[in-house]
Structure 1
Amino acid sequence: MKLAIVRQTYNPNGGAERFVSRALNVLSQSGELDVTLIARQWEDAAGWQTLTVNPPFRNRQSREEGFAREAAKRFSQFDIVQSHERIPGATLFRAGDGVHAAWLEQYSRILSPLRRWAQAFSAYHRYILQAEREMFTHPQLRKVICNSRLVRDDIARRFGLGAEKLTVIYNGVDTAAFHPDVQRFSQRETWGIPAQAPVLAYVGSGFTRKGVAVALKAIAAHPSVWLVVAGRDKHAKRFEALAAKLGVAERVKFLGPVADVKQVYGSADALILPTLYDPFPNVCVEALACGLPLLTSTQCGAAEWIEEGKNGWVRDALDVDGYREAISLWLAGRARGENYRQAARHTAEPFTLDRMAQELNALYRELLG
C-alpha cells in the first residue's frame, strides 16, 4: 500500500510536525505500508522516503498556493494521500490545525477594530478559507481525521459533512518516555527555582495565541507560584516586559526553545495553556502523561479529557479571574494531598503511539477494503 503524507515544512517545536514524525516512525515500521512524505523540507527523515516539493514563492499566500499546486500533481502516484495541509483532492485530511474560520473568530477577540477589518479583507485568509471549503467538499475526500471532538463537531456544523466522513483519532504519546519519572530531569536548581515552589509550565510557540499574557496575570495573584515559559516567539520581549510590569519577573523563567521538553515537565507541577484555539496540542498529551494536571481553555481539544478538579481545570481563554481561581483550587488541593499526578497520568496512559498507529492502519484498510 503506497501512502503519502503531506506536510509543507518542519518546525521542531510544532505540534503538527511532531505528530507527523511520530506517525511516520510508527507507520514506516509496518510491512503493509510504503510511506512517502511530501514536503518542502524536513529533518530526521529516517525510515521513510521524502519527496521534496519546493516551488519558489513571494509571500505567504503564494507559498501556500505553490506548494498545494505542485503537491497535488503527485497525488496520483499513491493509493492513499493523507494531507495535513488544506489541499483539495487528498483521500484523507487530518485537521490537526482545526478549522481556519474558527481560529479567525477566536483570534478576532483580541484584535482592535482596525485589525479585525484588515483580517476580514486579507487575501491570504480569503485564500485559506476558500481552499478549506473546496477541500472539505471535494469528491475525492473520503475521510477527515480529527484530533478532538471539538474539531469534528465544528467541521460537521460548518461544512455539512456526515458522521461517516469524520473520525476522531487522538494524538498518541510515547508513554514510556513521557512518564512521571521525568522529575529526574528537573532543572529547578539550574534555573534558580526553589525546590518546594509550586511551578506551572507553559510550552509552545505563539505566545499571544496560546495565552502567555493570561498566565502571567493569573500568577500575579499567587506570590508562591512560579512559571516557566518554553518556546519561541518573535515578540518574547513584550511578554518579559509584561512580567516586569506585573511584578512577577523574578518568578518567571523565559527559556526560549528547549531541546528536551522533558526537562520542563520534570521541573513543573502542572501545565497552563490558556489558548485561544488549539484542536489538541501534543504538549497537553505529553504533560498529562508526565503526571501534570492541565489548566486550559474551552477552545482547546484537550479540555475533553479534563475532569474538573481531578486532572485539571477549564476556563475561557481570556478569563484571567477564572485562571486565578483555578490556581487557587490547585494550590488548595496540593495542600490537602490530592494526587493530581496520578490522575493526570491515568488520563493519558491509553493514548499510546501503538494505539494511534493501529487506528490509522484500520482506517487505511477500511478505505482500501
Structure 2
Amino acid sequence: MKLCIVTHRVVPGDGQGRVNYAIVQHALAVGHSVTLLASEVAPDLVPHPGVTWVAIPSEGLPTELLRNLVFSWHSRRWLTKHAVEFDVIKLNGAITDFPAGVNAVHFVHHDWLRFAKQSLRESSANHPPGLRGLYQRLYTLLNAHWEKQAFQQATVLVAVSQQVKQGLLRLGVPASKIRVVLNGVDATEFVPGSVERDRWGLPGNVPMGLFAGDIKTPRKNLDTVLRALAQVAGLHLAVAGDLQGSPYPRLAQDLGVGDRVHFLGYRRDLKDLMQAADLFIFPSRYEACSLVLLEAMATGLPVVTAATTGGAEIVTPDCGVVLPDPNDVEHLAQTLNALIADSTRRSQLGQAARRRAEAHTWSAMAQQYLDLFDALCCPAAADHPQTANHETYRHHSHLLPR
C-alpha cells in the first residue's frame, strides 16, 4: 500500500503527531510505504527507506492561524499534482482543503463552541478577553468553518472518541460515514511506580493530585478544580502546564489555596510526575480524546474526569469517576474528599485503571487504522496506484465494515 499522511508533525511528543507516528511505525513494519506531508518528522523515521518526507515550511510565522494557512496552501498544491500516486490519503481535520478519502478528526471546533458558550461568557465577565482572547475566538470560528467543509469532502471520518463522534453527528455527518478509533498509550513507558516528590519541591507526606494541560484558557477547567480544592482540606495539587499568561496562579491565591497548589510549568518528565501523584484530576470542559488521561491510567492512577472529556468512555466505575457536569464544584469536591479519605479504594481504582489502559496500546490503535485503509483499497487500486485518486475512495466506500 502507498499511504500519504498530511499532518503538521509526526513526532512522539505531540498529541496528533503521536497518533500519526504510531500509524507510520506500524505501516512500515508490515511493508507499506508512507509519504509524509509535514513540517516536522521524528528523526528515527526520516532515514527509513519506506518513508518519503515532503517538508512543508510553515515555521517562523507569528501565529498558529497563519502557519495553518500556509501549510494548507502548500499541501494542496502538492496533492493536486501527486494524489494519484497513492492508494490512501489520510488527512487530519481541516489541515488542507484538498479532498481525500480518510480524515481523522482529533477535535471538533464547532462542538467546542457549543460546550464553551457559557464558560467563555463567564470568563469574559471576570477577565476581559483582550487581543489574545479575541484571536482565540477568531481562530476557533474559522476552524469550525473550514473543518465542516473538510468533513463533507471525506469518504470516511475517523473519530478519536465517542465525544468526537457525537460532535460529528450534531454537524449532520451520517453515522455510516464515521468510524471510532480511540487513541493509544505506551504501556511500557507509562507504568505504575513510585518517585520521590522532592525533585519537584513537592511535599511528600500529603495526598497529591495531579492536573496536566493548557492552563491559559478555561477549556481544561483548572478553575473548577481550584474552587473544589478549597473544599478539600489536606489535598495538594501539582499543576503541569505553561505558566506564561496563565490566570490560575492568581486565582489559587484569591481562593486561599495558593499554599497547596504547586505550579510546575511545562513538563517533559510527566511520566515521572505521574508516579509521584496519588490521583489524576482532569474534568476538561471539552476534550477530543485525551492522551494524558490514558497515560495517567497506564501509570495506575485513579482518575477523576468529566463526561465532556473525550476518552472518558473507558473510565469505568472500577477505575475512576466520571462527573456528569464538569462545572459542578460541589460534586467534584465530594468526590475528591471521598478518594483522599480511602487509600485502599484509590489503590483498587489505580490497579483497574492500569488494566483498562493495557487494552489501548498504540499498536492496537494503529492496526485499526490499517484495517480501515485496507478496506478502502480495492485490488485494482493496489495494482494501479495511478488510478487511486479520491474518486476511487468514493466508488469503493461500500468495502468499509458496517
After superposition, the Cα gap between the structure-2 partners of 1:11 and 1:202, relative to the gap in structure 1 and judged at 3 Å, is farther
Q: Does 1:40 align with 2:39?
A: yes
Counterpart of 1:298 (choices 286, 290, 307) is 307
Once residues 68 and 228 of structure 1 are traced to their aligned partners in structure 2, the CA distance between those partners, rounded to angstroms, is 38
What's the offset of the Cα at 1:270?
Answer: 1.2
Match for 1:151: what amino acid?
V
After superposition, the Cα gap between the structure-2 partners of 1:270 and 1:38, relative to the gap in structure 1 and judged at 3 Å, is same
What's the offset of the Cα at 1:12?
Answer: 7.3
Confirm or deny: 8 A CA contact 1:230 1:256 kept in the other structure.
yes
Once residues 62 and 342 of structure 2 are traced to their aligned partners in structure 1, the CA distance between those partners, rounded to angstroms, is 53
Match for 2:56: what amino acid?
V
After the TM superposition, which residues 328-347 of structure 1 pair with which residues of structure 2 at under 5 Å, given as runs? 328-334=337-343, 339-347=348-356
- Which ranges in structure 1 are unaligned for 5 or more consecutive residues? none
Q: Secondary structure at the match of 1:180?
A: coil
Match for 2:86: what amino acid?
F
Residue matched to 1:67: 71
Confirm or deny: 8 A CA contact 1:119 1:125 kept in the other structure.
no
What's the offset of the Cα at 1:278?
Answer: 0.2
Q: Secondary structure at the match of 2:211?
A: strand
Residue matched to 2:287: 278
After superposition, the Cα gap between the structure-2 partners of 1:249 and 1:6, relative to the gap in structure 1 and judged at 3 Å, is same
Confirm or deny: 8 A CA contact 1:275 1:296 kept in the other structure.
yes
Once residues 58 and 252 of structure 1 are traced to their aligned partners in structure 2, the CA distance between those partners, rounded to angstroms, is 33
Residue matched to 1:52: 55
TM-score (norm 1): 0.87
Q: Does 1:81 align with 2:89?
A: yes
Match for 1:35: what amino acid?
V
Once residues 115 and 219 of structure 1 are traced to their aligned partners in structure 2, the CA distance between those partners, rounded to angstroms, is 26
For residues 218-257 of structure 1, give each alpha carbon's deviation from its aligned partner in whole angstroms, at most 9, with x where no partner exists. Answer: 2222221111111224323x21122222222222221112
Q: Identity of counterpart residues, as a percentage? A: 27
- Which ranges in structure 2 are unaligned for 5 or more consecutive residues? 379-402
After superposition, the Cα gap between the structure-2 partners of 1:38 and 1:249, relative to the gap in structure 1 and judged at 3 Å, is same
After the TM superposition, which residues 81-230 of structure 1 pair with which residues of structure 2 at under 5 Å, given as runs? 81-86=89-94, 87-88=96-97, 89-97=99-107, 99-111=108-120, 112=124, 124-138=139-153, 141-163=154-176, 165-181=177-193, 183=194, 186-207=195-216, 208-230=218-240
For residues 106-138 of structure 1, give each alpha carbon's deviation from its aligned partner in whole angstroms, at most 9, with x where no partner exists. Answer: 22222237869x979965444323322211211
Q: Secondary structure at the match of 1:339?
A: helix
For residues 247-297 of structure 1, give each alpha carbon's deviation from its aligned partner in whole angstroms, at most 9, with x where no partner exists. Answer: 222222211122221111111111111211101110011111111111112
Deviating more after overlay: 12-21 vs 77-86? 12-21
Q: Secondary structure at the match of 2:90?
A: strand
Confirm or deny: 8 A CA contact 2:339 2:346 kept in the other structure.
no
The CA RMSD over aligned residues, in Å, is 2.7
Matched positions, count: 359
Q: Secondary structure at the match of 1:210?
A: coil
Q: Secondary structure at the match of 1:37?
A: strand
Confirm or deny: 8 A CA contact 1:315 1:322 kept in the other structure.
no
Once residues 361 and 286 of structure 1 are traced to their aligned partners in structure 2, the CA distance between those partners, rounded to angstroms, is 23
After superposition, the Cα gap between the structure-2 partners of 1:120 and 1:196, relative to the gap in structure 1 and judged at 3 Å, is closer
Confirm or deny: 8 A CA contact 1:216 1:248 kept in the other structure.
yes
Once residues 35 and 8 of structure 2 are traced to their aligned partners in structure 1, the CA distance between those partners, rounded to angstroms, is 13
After superposition, the Cα gap between the structure-2 partners of 1:250 and 1:361, relative to the gap in structure 1 and judged at 3 Å, is same
Q: Does 1:250 align with 2:259?
A: yes
Deviating more after overlay: 281-290 vs 14-23? 14-23
Residue matched to 1:266: 275
Confirm or deny: 8 A CA contact 2:186 2:362 kept in the other structure.
yes
Deviating more after overlay: 45-54 vs 256-265? 45-54
For residues 141-164 of structure 1, give each alpha carbon's deviation from its aligned partner in whole angstroms, at most 9, with x where no partner exists. Answer: 22111111111122123123232x
After superposition, the Cα gap between the structure-2 partners of 1:104 and 1:45, relative to the gap in structure 1 and judged at 3 Å, is farther
What's the offset of the Cα at 1:315?
Answer: 3.9
Match for 2:342: what amino acid?
G
